[in-house]
Amino acid sequence: MANAIYSVIFRLKKSASVPDFLAAAQKLNDEHISKQKGYISWQQCYDGEKENWADFCTFETKEDALLFLENSKEPCEHALAFYSFINLPSCRANLFTVEKLHK
């Protein structure tokens, strides 16, 4: 079965501190996301120019990613802290399956 990637593109709030945001992301990953079924990795990317961030969370299967999304409907305290840095209306989310991986 193909891996799945849950991606979110977003902007931070104008008042957000990037080091504090990244620390909150680390805490969220360590305490919650990395413990989800099928978790492989979480990449956080920044374009540096348009101030867009992108998260790519990879799971073993699409079913694992969907279970993660279902479990995320009621966010834990670490997720709420992470979300407090994000301009939530700017979020654009997608779920993809990996059809081909080039290394």
How far is 40 from 60, CA to CA, in rounded Å?
Answer: 7
The reported pLDDT for the residue numbered 4 is 98
The reported pLDDT for the residue numbered 50 is 83
- Is the pLDDT at 1 greater than 80, yes or no? no
**Interacting residues of 56 by C-beta distance below 8 A, sequence separation 6+:** 5, 6, 7, 41, 42, 43, 45
Q: pTM surpassing 0.75?
A: yes
DSSP strand pairing (53-59 vs 39-46): antiparallel
How far is 9 from 51, CA to CA, in rounded Å?
Answer: 10
- Is the pLDDT at 99 greater than 90, yes or no? yes
The reported pLDDT for the residue numbered 43 is 98
Going along the chain from its start, the domains and CATH numbers come out as 4-97 (3.30.70.100)
How far is 2 from 101, CA to CA, in rounded Å?
Answer: 10
Task: Tell me the per-residue pLDDT of 19-72, one tens digit each, with 9 for 90 and over.
Answer: 999 999 999 999 999 999 999 999 999 998 889 999 999 999 999 999 999 999
Residues 4, 101 contacting (CB under 8 angstroms): no
CA nearest neighbour of 91 among 45, 53, 46, 44: 53
The reported pLDDT for the residue numbered 46 is 97
